[in-house]
Amino acid sequence: MSRRSGILEFAVLGLLRESPMHGYELRKRLNTSLGVFRAFSYGTLYPCLKTLVTNGWLIEETGHAPEDALAASLAGRRAKIVYRLTAEGKEHFEELLSQTGPDAYEDEHFAARFAFFGQTSRDVRMRVLEGRRSRLEERLEKMRASLARTRERLDDYTLELQRHGMESVEREVRWLNELIESERAGRDLKGSAPGGPAQQDNTSGATGGLPRPGVDPRPDTPDDTAT
């Protein structure tokens, strides 16, 4: 399994844990709400769904009552397929949520993991955040060293581009520092004092205040007319 396909499977399981969806809804949520997968097609999504069904983590259901399915068949239209998470799929997703290995610190995988921090225990959130910060600090050190070696050979525009990249990493490190401080203090992202809801429920928290990476703050309303 490639790293990207593993991230996609993780995100699909996480979204279906919230509610059953059909393929159009899933693709829309992955593209807009999560902001993790900006450019992928149904040709990527449906093989992933097929694999998850084969593994027993999802089941396919017809999204119509029997009489509606018959009418759709007579009209030459395919019945809408809705994907639902199984008990085994939920267990598998929870196992994935608990993992804090190096892959969780990489750019795309971290964004997917962060999108589901509201379903992740506080101690796991801390390990992922600290791992991501450490990874970025290493990257920043290498960028600074590279810039120091090549500064005299770069034209102004290339130099500015490298500075921009460094500033982006520095901003994320500052953001991670704020998140880690809040987690250590037992606060959720709204700044609740220790003893508030985020501390009482170790799996809750972390979706207010600061935006999640790539998340559209507007609520997403799937188009139920799509197939």
What is the rounded distance in angstroms from the CA atom of residue 171 to the CA atom of residue 166? 9
Please report which confidence band the pLDDT of residue 42 belongs to, taking 50, 70 and 90 as the band edges.
Answer: confident
What is the rounded distance in angstroms from the CA atom of residue 212 to the CA atom of residue 112? 10
**DSSP code of 33?**
I
Residues 59 and 127 in one domain: no
Domain range for 55 is 3-97
Q: How many residues does the chain have?
A: 227
- Please check whether residue 205 lies inside any domain of the structure: no
State the number of CA atoms in the 13 A half-sphere of 10 facing the CB: 29
For residue 89, what is the domain's CATH number? 1.10.10.10
What is the rounded distance in angstroms from the CA atom of residue 179 to the CA atom of residue 176? 5
- Please check whether residue 61 lies inside any domain of the structure: yes
Residues 161 and 89 in one domain: no
Residues 114 and 73 in one domain: no
Residues 60 and 114 in one domain: no
Residues 79 and 7 in one domain: yes
Average pLDDT over residues 153-159: 92
- Reported as a single tens digit per residue, the pLDDT across 162-217 is 999 999 999 999 999 999 999 999 876 654 333 333 333 333 333 333 434 433 43
- Please check whether residue 210 lies inside any domain of the structure: no
- Reported as a single tens digit per residue, the pLDDT across 63-95 is 554 444 455 555 555 678 999 999 999 999 999
Query: Apex CA 210: angle with CA 110 and CA 170, to 5°?
Result: 60
